Chains A and B, each alone.
Chain A
């Protein structure tokens, strides 16, 4: 079966971002960008499905600026067969991205679509669910285990109280949680080979999708800073402070 994996180019998870002085957003100039960590897990799961003989083709798609081709090449180096970039310079909301992905789903007709559970920049946790709604597919969010059998997939999900397993009819949408797998690294020969794999570039217009939004970001501020704390010398001093100064125990 064909598996579609959606990936996003985001600020590297180790970077501590700074808010711009004019409060228009965070400063992303000259900051290291990477594939969103949850998307890496999604690519890895697709590659493992292919290694198990479940998946026959892996198509990786990204929606974003021209530079997102770097992340698509990374995914190709990790084992994806071909890539699609839906090029859009503006920042899109999850709904706009879901609509664009729906157009790609209609075109590619995958049996399984794997996304990360959330992007570490916007922290929305919406796109997979929205794509499922627009496609009319079942959704297995926050997946820690994915087992395809016949025309259905069993997804074990991380929920607040533990784990839950649901059975979904294919085609279906799965979003990955951290513990689904340990993503592999791309080897140098595979990085070279990935340069020759096909990468198709599309536009929202070509897909006939409007990316207008009902949300507007008015400003972005730095969070309130915590006042500096103190170091205590002993456990006894700590307990004394907690009891008499902070009064929390």
Chain B
């Protein structure tokens, strides 16, 4: 068995989710090859070769692969996939965008967002917003899988010394082009990789009040998230959304502030190790999953909490 992992990278660096995906590949067993597709990705290829457990790195450096347009990257991946038993990618917006296209080209069903590997052909994945866990078996010759990063502990980024091979294949479908990108800037840890996450909901009342959460987060070294209600109300940008349709997090500590705890929000955070809920409504569903609940006005509790930690 040989497994091909699509590397997730941005701004010339390997994204942390790649390490979780390699960890999932290690559980399946067999040689692990990593594909780095993009433009000017030489340094990314070198970083990928250092990941512990990786046997070979394929580097496809071509203008057509810039911005990871699926119309161009999927045919490359589908072409390379022949000869591999598994094709894996992180369940990031990129992985979700590209991999189903690859699966359809290979005429196999895909398994999305696995959270555990039972055997080389059997995997567990959440369905119904995490309210049920399905065990799925694949009989496909090439198993195409996306990996939920929070289901697997990240492997080591150093220690490997894989050979680097240049892939010259250039696929340019000419059907799509990149126009522009607006990336949210933040000095805080990345939401999906943070050890502590502080999230605010509708109870924050407005975007300005999120400054209380930012102050607390900075003191804890935490990332700041939000519920859909807070995003829809325009308090914060949508890349901060935690939930079924936003980001899935599983930090050591998740502090939910002014969040009622709808099914769709819980889907994104209920695998956190310790959950703290601060809400003035003691009937809020969030208290049913919280390890520590505090019924209080968040505008009094948060500044006090910031002082005490």
Contact = CB atoms under 8 A, between A and B. Distances in A.
Interface of A: 11, 13-14, 16-17, 19, 26, 93-95, 98, 117-118, 120-134, 136-139, 141-142, 144, 154, 157-169, 172, 177-179, 213-223, 226, 229-236, 238-239, 241-242, 246, 248-249
A129 B71 CA distance: 10
B245 A177 contact: yes
Nearest to B231: A179
User: Closest 6 CB pairs between A and B?
Assistant: A129-B100, A133-B104, A130-B104, A126-B100, A214-B140, A138-B175
Interface residues of B, number: 90
B100 A168 contact: no
A139 B104 CA distance: 13
A232 B182 contact: no
A212 to B, nearest CB: 10
A130 B100 contact: yes
A160 B239 CA distance: 6
Contacts of A117: 245
Given A125-B96, A138-B175, A130 B101 contact: yes
Contacts of B127: 26, 121-123, 220
Q: Which of B122, B180, B295 has the most C-beta atoms of chain A within 10 angstroms of its own C-beta?
A: B180
Given A123-B113, A166-B67, A220-B134, 13 more contacts: A94-B109, A95-B104, A95-B108, A120-B244, A159-B239, A160-B92, A162-B184, A167-B178, A214-B108, A214-B139, A218-B135, A230-B291, A236-B308
B93 A123 contact: no
A214 B70 contact: no
A246 B136 contact: no
A231 B294 contact: yes
A120 B128 contact: yes
Contact of A164 (B110, B132, B178, B287): B178
B100 A123 contact: no
Nearest to B11: A161
Contacts of B236: none
A220 B183 contact: no
